Amino acid sequence: MTRTPYGAVRGRWDRGVAVFRGIPYAAAPFGPRRFRPPVPPEPWDGVRDAAAFGPTAPKPPYSEAFAQYLSDPVVPGDDCLNLNVWTPDPSPGARLPVFVWLHGGALTRGSSAVPVYDGRTFARDGVVFVSVNYRLGVEGYGLFPDAPANPGLRDQLAALGWVHEAITAFGGDPARVTLGGQSAGAISTGALIAAPQARGLVRRAVLQSGPPETTDREKVRRMVRRMATRLKVPATAEAFAAVDRAQLLRAQAEVGRLSSPVLGGPAFGIVVDGDLVPRDPLEALTDGAAPGVGLLTGWTRDEYRLWLVPGGLLERVDRLGPLALAGAMARCRCGSEVPRGYRTLRPADGTAELVGQMVTDRLLRLPLHRLSDGRDEPSYVYEFAWPSNRPGMGACHALELGFVFDSGDEPDARKLSGEGAPQELADAMHGAWVRFVSDGAPGWDRWDARHPVQVFGDGTPHLVHGPRDRELALWATPSVPAEATGPATSPELRSVIRRLRRSGALRRG
């Protein structure tokens, strides 16, 4: 039994690790609290059983094409603002390092119950591991005239506050907290470490395949307005709160079904709100926000393959040729000299590979380079290069998770990796993450003018200097506005996207 600020909880021992699941860190965000900032949970009497994962936030399921590769369990119930703790020593005197994990899923899917995120391996190696559920989609990132922005991000901040207040009782040290995540979880991590309200709550941060960024407010408003049109209600929080949850999710899925991380489309995202996110997080961080917070950042070699291979989109983009390149140029706000440069550097790549690498470089690798270049604190950068044994997936987005968590034996991890993932690679990556969380140094050179990148999966893990520098140098042209760090919303892009939709290239299966 362990006591939290709101009551006692009883977990379970699992192979030498104490596990506490489904602990509420905030009240259920429904009824009068829907679309509102989180508030503390009601204290409880007695001992709360913490054996099972708590409810997951409302979310639409993955399409059939993506469900072949990604798992997304659903746990019904209203109390979805909950977290889980794995610890090797649930006693206040242990003072162990803490790793707080924010799941990915484009801020519309995912949860802490995804089996790949099993925190037992981190606890086995001396780290108190915490995974968090938070509001998703329109519930967490809708933008309304009558409600505060970014409630999902505010949930994550509330969970960080809970960790600061409660983790000592679970054997953790609140002064040694690392915040991390992958994809949307990494984007959230970047926004939180830049937030003034999070100052002092985080000592280190891990950003996997997601840069600090915000979404244009008008883009999010358009998403809400399109949902309102389908639902035949005003685009207000009050009106949306009166809509049945299942109906709201159906409308969200219908409006977002043609979106693509590579070619854009309607989507929810974190917005500048003048409060929790007072300015663009990347600009804030390179301007000195989050002093003293060390970084571990990186990407996978073939991020785009998770977005283009399921449903056959890779082949359709290849067939479109110049039209697909025009879409990538509009999305990335660049001139024709950029794809010409990629053709020169990567002559063997097809159109889809060029589009995928261009967009990945522009929207992910370039801002992560800027982040590491722009800070005095230690920063360590990696690239994951092991290709999946699933046909066509390569070293795709999210594939590294089974290695970071050393959870490759999970059937859900094999959905993306296939059979036969190398254990020695998991040992190397997981060990590096444990070292970073524990001591701030994963085991290779910190970032400097040589741009050292630790490559995992291309043979024995090794250091390469500037492996992406030639491609990223192509973006230093007058045709790319310096302030353009997110997806374009220009009329040219919308025109190209409409043509791609008519061609069938954006159907997701």
CA neighbor of 477 nearest in space, from 358, 365, 337:
337
CA-CA distance, 313 to 319, in Å (whole number)?
10
179 and 160 in contact (C-beta within 8 Å)?
Answer: yes
Two structure tokens written together for 471: 């491609």
- Cα angle 242, 245, 251 (rounded to 5 degrees) comes to 95
Within a 13 Å sphere around the CA of 11, how many CA atoms are in the beta-carbon half?
A: 24
Annotation says 438 is catalytic: no
Q: How many CB atoms lie within 10 A of CB 468?
A: 21
Two structure tokens written together for 416: 């993306």
E strand or H helix at 457, and its extent? Answer: strand 452-457
CA-CA distance, 96 to 99, in Å (whole number)?
10
E strand or H helix at 452, and its extent? Answer: strand 452-457
Q: Strand ranges (DSSP E) for 156-264?
A: 172-182, 204-208
CA-CA distance, 232 to 235, in Å (whole number)?
9
Two structure tokens written together for 418: 């296939």
Annotation says 372 is catalytic: no
Instruction: Give me the sheet containing 2-4, strands edge to edge.
Output: 2-4, 7-10, 47-49
Q: Which of 183, 188, 379, 407 is catalytic?
A: 183
| Tally of residues, the chain | 509
Q: Which of 139, 164, 213, 303 is catalytic?
A: 303
CA-CA distance, 35 to 140, in Å (whole number)?
7
Beta bridge partners of 17: 14
Annotation says 183 is catalytic: yes
CA-CA distance, 57 to 130, in Å (whole number)?
17
Residue 129, helix vs strand vs coil: strand
163 and 98 in contact (C-beta within 8 Å)?
Answer: yes
Q: Strand ranges (DSSP E) for 215-323?
A: 294-300
Place of tokens 């054996």: 51
Beta bridge partners of 4: 7
CA-CA distance, 346 to 358, in Å (whole number)?
11
- Measured in whole angstroms, the distance separating CA 126 from the mean position of its chain's CA atoms is 24
424 and 339 in contact (C-beta within 8 Å)?
Answer: no
220 and 268 in contact (C-beta within 8 Å)?
Answer: yes
Burial of 89 (C-beta count, 10 Å sphere; 0-12/13-18/19+): middle
Q: Which of 397, 400, 438, 451 is catalytic?
A: 397
Active site residues: 183, 303, 397
